[in-house]
Amino acid sequence: MSRQYHHDIVIIGAGAAGLTLALELADQYRVAILTKADIREGSTLYAQGGVAAVLSEKDTIESHIKDTIGAGVELGNPDAIRFTVENSKASIDWLIDQGVPFTRYGESDEYHLTKEGGHSHRRIIHSADATGLAISKTLIKNASNHPNIEFFPNRVAIDVITTQKLGLGGQNRAVGMYALNLDDDATEVFHGNFVSLACGGSSKVYLYTSNPDTASGDGIAMAWRAGCRVANMEFNQFHPTCLYDAKAKTFLISEAVRGEGGKLLLPDGSPFMAKFDSRAELAPRDIVARAIDHEMKRLGVRHVWLDISHKDSDFIREHFPTLYKRCLEYGHDMTKGPIPVVPAAHYTCGGVVVDQHSLTDISHLYAVGETAYTGLHGANRLASNSLLECIVFARSAAKHIKQFNADLTHVSIPDWDESQVTDSDEDVVITHNWQELRRFMWDYVGIVRTNKRLLRAKHRVDLLQSEIHEFYANYKISNDLLELRNLAQVADLIIRSAMSRKESRGLHFTLDYPNKLEQSQPTVLTPEKKGQETKREVSAV
């Protein structure tokens, strides 16, 4: 029998979005937070730069909106952008009230604001160069101390449970979640009157990523299988500068390094970004990533260099203490010379379609953070808007949920059925498909795409999904199988979205359609009612 847990709301993920939602609701609701690994592991933890917000008298809401629209190459939703920016200061105030130790400076002890690529003003509030860590530690501490919040670590979410899946009449709504307990391989049932997917993006679908191992697109895949639309999955942001070092894997080098004067150099020491954009190192990430990719392929080199050693060494150690120490661990001294960098998959700009309350197409099912498509990012994410989006939309979701009666009747959910499956004796199939999926996504659906590459990727992912479906139906589930299933689904959505966009815009660049169309809309994919992921349409959200 499956263990059964009952809460008012079940949240998948303990990053900035999930924790904010939990803390905003906990005084009124009983909250369960499921995390795939330790509760401290997640993308928020690794976010270095900061949170974008209009906090200076020299800055304006209209300027932040303009920068966001520009970075998104006019594909963002104007209403969502304005909603986010207008709520930016209140979100920062909320984080400060929670106790987040943002960096101050000078005799006035004012908060220090930095500037990053694509921004016209200094508006990035930060905690040295480890803002995500500061936010994560603060919110986890507060959530852990709240009597109405219960953490369930080492749980892998399997699928959202809806009334429609249970064969119940009336409006379809989310009522819980199946999850695998990694500690004892038991499958559990989590009842919730509300369910929120806050489990990050899908960058692990690529061979090289700056994201933690947990970023396997679980929320997007689960929402799609439940019947939710997804949008703009072709726009995958590749961070231009991750440390190129085998031991470091892909340790992120913050964009703030370039914001404070860091220069990108070729192996001969010559700068090159001015050839690609007048803003040079401060150009949006898609432009910088493509420029690096171009130079690497042109020269046949494995990386380029990032140099900030011309700045005072005390300045570097003060502004980038974490980066400085980590780079030293791998034998690179930022104060004495350049460090090797390479692009890596970093952020999923698309996701599950939601409204301004973070509500999906299914009642009582919410998606927040990188899992969601709010319309904020358009064809490219403006630096440091992501943490802002987490806070703004999680608080909006909480406000919406509070309008409901917390005492909704829990429906009966059956135990997980393993009566027809056996233990697998061919786990090599999972390992092989895992490696192949991430390799062909990197080669065929990466920074630069073509029709032929996308077609090859589509043929391969179709075959993979067929193999995975057969494996899933006949063998007991495992963490690797569940992640592979989700990654294959997300890969399929990315490929479909990329194939449907007949232009180059923002993060989607194709050699077959190198120009930008005058009129363009978000790519929206809609699952068929029977759950067959075959229908594709392009329309406005």
How many residues in total does the chain contain?
Answer: 541
CB 347 within 8 A of CB 289: no
Using the CB atoms, write b or e for 10-49: b if 16+ within 10 Å: bbbbbbbbbbbbbbbbbeebbbbbbbbbebebbbbbbbbb
CA torsion, points 11, 12, 16, 21, in degrees to nearest 10? -10
CA distance 252 to 322: 11
268 half-sphere exposure, CB direction, 13 A CA radius: 4
Token duo for residue 434: 């895992």
Neighbours of 310 (CB within 10 A): 9
Token duo for residue 49: 């730069």
Spatial neighbors of 291 by CB under 8 A, at least 6 apart, are 240, 264, 272, 273, 275, 276, 277, 283
CB 339 within 8 A of CB 347: no
| CA nearest neighbour of 236 among 471, 7, 442 | 442
Using the CB atoms, write b or e for 485-508: b if 16+ within 10 Å: bbbbbbbbbbbbbbbebebbbbbb
Interhelix angle 88-98/131-144, nearest 10 degrees: 60
CA distance 41 to 22: 17
Beta strands at 236-243 and 339-348: parallel, antiparallel or unpaired: antiparallel
Question: What one-character-per-residue DSSP string does 243-309 give?
Answer: E-BTTTBS-B--THHHHTT-EEE-TTS-B-GGGT-TTGGGS-HHHHHHHHHHHHHHHT-S-EEEE-T
Three-state helix/strand/coil letters over 109-141: CEECEECCCCCCCCCEECCCCCHHHHHHHHHHH
Which residues belong to the active site?
285
Neighbours of 469 (CB within 10 A): 12
